[in-house]
Structure 1
Amino acid sequence: MQQQPGFIEDKQIEWQTAGEGIRRKIMAHDPSLMLVKVEFEQGAVGAVHKHVHVQITHIESGVFEVEIAGDKKVLKKGDGFHIPSNVEHAVICLKKGVLIDVFSPMREDFLQ
């Protein structure tokens, strides 16, 4: 499934459960790129994992402890991070917030 080019309206996209205290909206995608909004409740954990996709994340709101390749840093609204392909990473939400994730190529597993 490939989305048609055009405008993206947040209110038209439904949330999907992505884990305990975590939900996401797939905002747009094509085979080479995907934009995803992820909302975390305080204390929710994105467990350590890795994937072949390159990921760049913008912190829209909240406070997160971010771990990349074993290094940890607390980041807040306006900050961001970059994860190369196959690098282990994780987040812990310290204050309820939203991450904006960009993946290349798209995450086909998110569409199943």
Structure 2
Amino acid sequence: MTLNLSTIPSKEIMPGLHGKLVHSEHMSMAFWDVEKGAQVPEHAHMNEQIMHVIEGEFQFTLEGNTKVYVPGDIVVIAPHKKHSGIALTPCKLLDVFSPTREEYR
């Protein structure tokens, strides 16, 4: 399968969180455009996750530890760990999940 990011439709998964989603048999990638002030409520899931901040400032809390992440920062999130976030500025983020985030299909 070959795709181009510009041709993938965007889905608003949560208010202010617009994602272009790519799925394979064992993983998902989410290219997020996040509006300033958009919040990801605290949650946990069975998927391993890696978050990469491409643009902007994203305040992220993992297991009660809060930090502001900036372009180039990468966070590895183990399965079942509670996490949440808020966009302090407009952001572009990349999330990779394994296994596939079926609810994002």
Post-superposition offset of 1:31: 2.2
Post-superposition offset of 1:38: 1.2
Match of 2:47 among 28, 50, 53: 53
Q: Which runs of 4+ in 1 moved over 6 A?
A: none
Match of 2:98 among 88, 98, 104: 104
Residue in 2 that maps onto 1:15:
10
Q: Does 1:87 align with 2:87?
A: no
Matched residue type, 1:102:
V
Residue in 2 that maps onto 1:25:
20
Q: Larger RCO: Structure 1 or Structure 2 (Cα < 8 Å, ≥ 6 residues apart)? A: 2
Residue in 1 that maps onto 2:62:
68
Higher percent of residues as strand: 1
Matched residue type, 2:18:
R
Matched residue type, 1:42:
K
Q: CA RMSD in A?
A: 0.9
Instruction: Mark the runs of 5 or more structure 2 residues left unpaired by the alignment.
Output: none
Instruction: Mark the runs of 5 or more structure 1 residues left unpaired by the alignment.
Output: none
The whole-number CA distance in structure 1 between the counterparts of 2:16 and 2:30 is 16
TM-score, normalised with respect to structure 1 = 0.89
Post-superposition offset of 1:21: 1.3
User: What secondary structure sits across from 1:11 in the alignment?
Assistant: helix
Residue in 2 that maps onto 1:42:
36
Matched residue type, 1:18:
I
What percentage of aligned pairs have identical amino acids? 30
